[in-house]
């Protein structure tokens, strides 16, 4: 048992609920961001690609929230997790909540996240928790497509015009500080690690670095050297100033009309 696990009051069951929910949080929040592109893309093809990716990611969140509800045994549904938790209960990676910005910002965010998701879901597919393993297996195909889509765009923008190159390099430089958090462990991950339920995300960094380096090289872009990392989302539910607006939009209906159904 790790040091962190020793100091906590969380049971393994509670840890499992939080673990499933926090993986779901990444999908829900970045999926929400992607859906904000709805009818703002310059072509129908991109419109559809963005909306389909959003649906994939929100779909992953649904399965994880549903499982979190089942594992908790208190009858909570996916909607309880999405609509009735407060900002500090969401433990998504801060990268997921970064604004869409320009097209380069959106592509870089999706690229960093998808490279991570691919490695993460590959590892989750080997979890000793059969349900998480099945969700990992199923999500892998989707995030692999997101990685291909965003890699191709990154190369096109980086190895494109001077303008597109400079702008997307700036996107990389700006978002880089949010990539360190991807490889940090939080309390529930540490609790579940010994049983082989959670993924040791610290071990994913070398493979992630390689994917990123390979694509950036093809894109004639430069990997930032400064590895200072902004932390807080996953470990403490301390979010950026952007998160409140996402939650407000997403939860308005259930907060205004508690228990509302159609």
Q: Which residues bind a copy of itself (CB under 8 A)?
A: 32, 35, 38-48, 51-52, 54-55, 58-59, 61-62, 65, 78-79, 82, 103, 153, 157, 249-250, 253-254, 257, 260-262
Nearest distance in Å: CB 31, a copy of itself: 10
Q: Which is nearer to a copy of itself, 61 or 113 (CB)?
A: 61
CA distance 72 to 112: 31
Burial-class residue 117 by CB neighbours within 10 Å (0-12, 13-18, 19+).
buried
CA distance 185 to 183: 7
As given in the structure block, the two tokens for residue 164 are: 């597109």
| Sequential DSSP letters for 143-206 | HHHHHHHHHHHHHHHHTS-HHHHHHHHHHHHHHGGGTGGGG---HHHHHHHTTT-S--GGGGHH
Q: Which is nearer to a copy of itself, 222 or 260 (CB)?
A: 260
Nearest distance in Å: CB 178, a copy of itself: 23
Q: Which is nearer to a copy of itself, 12 or 165 (CB)?
A: 165
If you ran DSSP here, which 8-state letter would residue 87 be given?
G
Under 8 Å between Cβ of 68 and 25: no
Q: Which is nearer to a copy of itself, 164 or 184 (CB)?
A: 164
Q: Which is nearer to a copy of itself, 64 or 191 (CB)?
A: 64
Cα–Cα nearest to 90, from 248, 259, 199: 248
Nearest distance in Å: CB 21, a copy of itself: 13
Under 8 Å between Cβ of 230 and 177: yes
Nearest distance in Å: CB 118, a copy of itself: 23
Q: Which is nearer to a copy of itself, 79 or 209 (CB)?
A: 79
φ, ψ of residue 66 to 5 degrees: the values are: -60, -45
Nearest distance in Å: CB 101, a copy of itself: 13
Nearest distance in Å: CB 257, a copy of itself: 7
Nearest distance in Å: CB 145, a copy of itself: 15
Q: Which is nearer to a copy of itself, 52 or 174 (CB)?
A: 52
As given in the structure block, the two tokens for residue 121 are: 């879901």
């Amino acid at each position: 048992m790790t040091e962190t696990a020793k100091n906590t009051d969380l049971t393994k069951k509670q840890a499992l609920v939080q673990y499933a929910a926090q993986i779901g949080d990444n999908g829900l929040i970045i999926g929400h961001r992607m859906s904000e592109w709805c009818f703002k893309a310059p072509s129908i093809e991109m419109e559809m690609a963005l909306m389909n990716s959003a649906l994939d990611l929100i779909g992953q969140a649904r399965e994880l929230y549903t499982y979190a509800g089942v594992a908790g045994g208190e009858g909570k549904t996916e909607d309880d997790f999405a609509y009735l938790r407060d900002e500090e209960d969401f433990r998504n990676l801060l990268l997921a909540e970064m604004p869409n910005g320009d097209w380069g910002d959106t592509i870089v965010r999706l690229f960093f996240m998808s490279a991570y998701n691919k490695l993460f879901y590959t590892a989750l597919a080997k979890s000793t928790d059969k349900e998480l393993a099945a969700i990992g297996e199923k999500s892998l195909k989707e995030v692999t497509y997101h990685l291909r889509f965003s890699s191709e765009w990154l190369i096109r923008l980086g190895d494109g015009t001077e303008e597109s190159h400079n702008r997307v390099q700036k996107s990389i430089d700006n978002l880089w500080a949010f990539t360190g958090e991807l490889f940090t462990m939080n309390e529930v991950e540490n609790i579940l690690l010994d049983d082989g339920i959670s993924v040791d995300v610290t071990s994913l960094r070398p493979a992630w670095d390689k994917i990123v380096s390979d694509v950036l090289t093809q894109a004639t872009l430069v990997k930032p050297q400064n590895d200072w990392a902004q932390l807080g989302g996953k470990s403490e539910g301390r979010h950026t100033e952007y998160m409140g607006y996402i939650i407000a939009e997403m939860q308005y209906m259930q907060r205004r009309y508690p228990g509302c159904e159609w």
